[in-house]
Amino acid sequence: MALVENLIVVFVAGLATALATGLGAVPFFFIDDFSDRWNVGLWGVASGIMVTVSVLGLVDEGLAYASSGFPTLMVAGLLAGVALVEVSDRILEGVDIGSVDRHDDLQHEVDGGDGQLDAGRAEESNPGPDDPPLEAAAFADGDPKTLVLILGILTVHSFPEGVAVGVSFAELGLEGGLSILGVSIPLLALFMTVAISIHNVPEGTAIAIPMRAMGLSNWRMVGAAIFSSLPQPIGAVIAFVFVSWAEAFLPFGFGFAAGAMVYLVATEFIPEALETGAALPHGGRNELLVGFAAGVVAMLPVVAV
């Protein structure tokens, strides 16, 4: 029974991170536009928290569980985490869920067939970097088969975040954690869940922006944002089961999560923030740095305990 309860706790934590993605679309219920400065700042805060928790939390835990001598398992985990993110990115780059004709048909359906795209979207003969994210286009199209396919793709993309949450719960139920509803939650797990959730907010906004331009409803934007992170609770449960049943591989698990998270920050979070803030003074670097520093400062006193 204890295992089932633990699995529920981990799943709920992963689900919370997925639901946080939907928060990125909530501002559009009240405003027509969302500040790039605010969005870049959130990317920075998430990145600062993630790096701090990964390096001073996950890596430190991995070293603590590693046997004396060179931490071979943890280093192997770090490299495996980096490899997973890189491989998943390459897989996503090679995925084509629809043709140019499908893209054009989707735009024709959204704009009512009058040849004018909503919210000033420029006409394009081929999909490019400014096209809607996969999940946004799928929700606009409403094709169940496409949604299932994209959920599979997103599972590859969101798995590292779910793994980080699951691994951080390795000491669930042990003394020394924060008691929530009678369950001892590891502080590392709490911080990692918060970090992933904060990261998911601007990611949800990035999904909602093109859907807003396509004239779709607010609730469809929220649904698409949450949908994009649904694999995270699944990844969290799988990772937790792994580190619970294979305790000897805990250093590998902590290293894997840390490697994936830091690599994600370097190759996705920061580039996404800079792309979002390209029109801001200094390309949004000031907002990114301030947010990053705020994330680090917020976590340092905690992880140093």
pLDDT at 151: 58
Q: What share of the chain is helix, strand, coil (3-state, %, to 5)?
A: 75, 0, 20
> What's the mean pLDDT in 40-51?
85
pLDDT at 103: 44
Q: pLDDT digit string (tens) for 186-224? A: 888 888 888 888 878 877 877 777 777 677 788 888 888
Query: Cβ atoms within 10 A of the Cβ of 266, count?
Result: 14
Q: Quote the strand ranges of the chain, DSSP E.
A: 178-180, 183-185
pLDDT at 78: 92
> What's the mean pLDDT in 85-112?
56
| DSSP letters for 84-142 | HHHHHHHHHHT---S-HHHHHHHHHHHTTTSS--GGGPPP-SS--TTSPPHHHHHHHHT
Which residues lie closer than 8 Å to 286 by C-beta, 6 or more apart?
Answer: 280
Per-residue pLDDT band at 92 (split at 50, 70, 90): low
For residue 300, CA distances in Å to 59, 82, 132, 261 come to 14, 24, 37, 17
Per-residue pLDDT band at 129 (split at 50, 70, 90): very low
Looking at per-residue pLDDT, the higher value among 227 and 75 belongs to: 75
> What's the mean pLDDT in 118-126?
38
pLDDT for residue 11 is more than 90: yes
Looking at per-residue pLDDT, the higher value among 79 and 279 belongs to: 79
pLDDT for residue 68 is more than 90: no
pLDDT for residue 37 is more than 60: yes
pLDDT at 135: 56
Query: Cβ atoms within 10 A of the Cβ of 223, count?
Result: 17
pLDDT at 219: 85
What is the C-alpha R_g of the chain? 20
Q: Which of 158-162, 172-176, 276-280 has the lowest mean pLDDT?
A: 172-176
d(CA 36, CA 105): 30
pLDDT for residue 45 is more than 80: yes
Q: What is the mean pLDDT of the chain?
A: 76
Closest to 197 measured CA to CA, from 28, 56, 23: 23
pLDDT at 109: 44
The structure tokens listed for 231 are 């694999």
> What's the mean pLDDT in 120-137?
46
């070293």: which residue's tokens? 63
Are 303 and 191 in contact by the 8 Å Cβ rule? The answer is: yes
Torsion of Cα atoms, 271 then 125 then 99 then 121, to 10°: 60
pLDDT for residue 99 is more than 60: no
- Global pTM value: 0.69
Looking at per-residue pLDDT, the higher value among 112 and 271 belongs to: 271
Looking at per-residue pLDDT, the higher value among 147 and 19 belongs to: 19
The structure tokens listed for 168 are 């951080």
Closest to 39 measured CA to CA, from 201, 243, 246, 252: 201
Q: pLDDT digit string (tens) for 265-282? A: 898 888 888 888 888 888
Are 191 and 49 in contact by the 8 Å Cβ rule? The answer is: yes
